[in-house]
Amino acid sequence: MTGGRETMTDQTVVTSASLGLSDDAISASVVPIDSLVHPHVVRRLAGLSSGRATSAASSPEADATMEFAVSVARGLSDHPRRLESRFLYDAQGSDLFERICEQPEYYLTRTEASILSAAASDIAEKTGDVALVELGSGSSIKTRLLLDAYVERFGSARYTPVDVSSSALSVAETEIAAHCPQVDFDSVHGTYDDVFPRLEALSPCMLLFLGSTVGNLDHVETAAFWSRVATHLKPGDFCLLGVDTGEDPDVLHAAYNDAAGHSAAFTCNVFARMNRELGSSLDMDAIDHVARYVPHLRRVEIFGRFLKDQDIEIEPLGHTLRVSRGEMILTEVSRKFRLRQLVPYLCTFGLVARHVYADRDRRVAVLLLERT
């Protein structure tokens, strides 16, 4: 063995010489950590990850801001840079998303509503009298079509909407009480995690996951999501899943770049939210919305593109990151589905498609899945 440092693994001895490196190259590669990240930021983040950062001053709002700050710091340090899409939906973002749903180019919402309107009574007949539990219920407008069908068939209905927006839940409650008083309304203000453990007590039930929200999860999140659904639903329970099956590039491009500019405002809002909540001092006039359909990945990718160099401050962490002109920060992906791949995939989680409802143009599908 000639020169070089040794690293022992179970089977192999690797030397710096065998890697073609001299000892000088190794010592020259030592980079002071302080030049990469400020010690103050290290203390903050290390404290957070060990759960020690919650101080006496902590409150749910402060914790939520810190969670946003850490997520932004993490996502902007990633390659490619990204932001978690759940932060698109603050009060302004939720309003903008409602506007998107009303745009003529955004076919998903109205197409899914028309499928539900035609299929509601058939769905009620197939599931029998089950409690309806809706993830990310928002205004619950589409769900009223289903509730009407359940009330008509069974005389009453049980409905548990789940949403992080308390204002959306109270609007839904008022509207449903006025429009359909036979509905027993029992909402959950929180995330999916808050409702999964309650599903067993709500069984027999049908979990509603509409609007192709599943398309905003990446592959890892998707598998984790379906595992949880499969764990918490009992055999014989149902899941009603709405997915976008569109594949026409022009139609998809228009849907995510509406002429009225609501899609652009929705993307930019997450950067404006960083200004509001994290003191990021971003020049909003120098951030553009870019949405493009990538056919081979069957997904729309949405970015904020920086038109000039900007320093992004993350005040709660005392951290600043530089983004250069031309850089694109991924804010969201929206996957589009092929039923011949999706249906067998769901089977691997014990969720069997009993019926698939679709529109004439095959742009949207609603799957009635049974937990076997």
Q: Provide the binding-site residues for ligand AVI, judged by CB under 6 A.
A: 100, 108, 211-213, 215-216, 256, 263, 266, 332, 334
Report the nearest approach of ligand AVI to the CB of residue 258 (Å).
Answer: 8
Cβ contact 188:160 at 8 Å: yes
Report the nearest approach of ligand AVI to the CB of residue 23 (Å).
Answer: 53
Contact residues for 133 (Cβ-Cβ < 8 A; gap 6+): 160, 162, 195, 199, 202, 205, 206, 207, 208
DSSP state of 134: E
In order, the DSSP letters of 293-331 are EEGGGTEEEEEEEESS-EEEEEGGGTEEEEE-TT-EEEE
Q: Which is nearer to ligand AVI, 79 or 219 (CB)?
A: 219
C-alpha 288/C-alpha 265 separation (Å) is 9
Rounded to 5 degrees, φ, ψ at 6 are -105, 140
Report the nearest approach of ligand AVI to the CB of residue 97 (Å).
Answer: 6
Q: Which is nearer to ligand AVI, 211 or 316 (CB)?
A: 211
Look up residue 294 and give its two tokens. Answer: 């990538």
Among candidates 142, 143, 140, 132, which has minimal Cα distance to 199? Answer: 132
Q: Which is nearer to ligand AVI, 238 or 266 (CB)?
A: 266
C-alpha 74/C-alpha 214 separation (Å) is 23
Most distant CA pair in the chain: distance in Å? 85
Q: Which helix (H) or strand (E) holds 135?
A: strand 131-135
Report the nearest approach of ligand AVI to the CB of residue 250 (Å).
Answer: 16
Q: Which is nearer to ligand AVI, 139 or 212 (CB)?
A: 212
Among candidates 164, 227, 154, 231, which has minimal Cα distance to 200? Answer: 231
C-alpha 57/C-alpha 54 separation (Å) is 8
Q: Which is nearer to ligand AVI, 71 or 213 (CB)?
A: 213
C-alpha 298/C-alpha 166 separation (Å) is 34
Report the nearest approach of ligand AVI to the CB of residue 181 (Å).
Answer: 30
Report the nearest approach of ligand AVI to the CB of residue 306 (Å).
Answer: 19
Q: Which is nearer to ligand AVI, 92 or 213 (CB)?
A: 213
Look up residue 310 and give its two tokens. Answer: 């900007």
Residue type, 365: A
Omega before 204 cis (within 30°)?
yes
Report the nearest approach of ligand AVI to the CB of residue 120 (Å).
Answer: 21
Report the nearest approach of ligand AVI to the CB of residue 21 (Å).
Answer: 47
The number of residues making up the chain comes to: 372
Q: Which is nearer to ligand AVI, 182 or 213 (CB)?
A: 213
Residue nearest to ligand AVI (CB): 334
Report the nearest approach of ligand AVI to the CB of residue 333 (Å).
Answer: 8
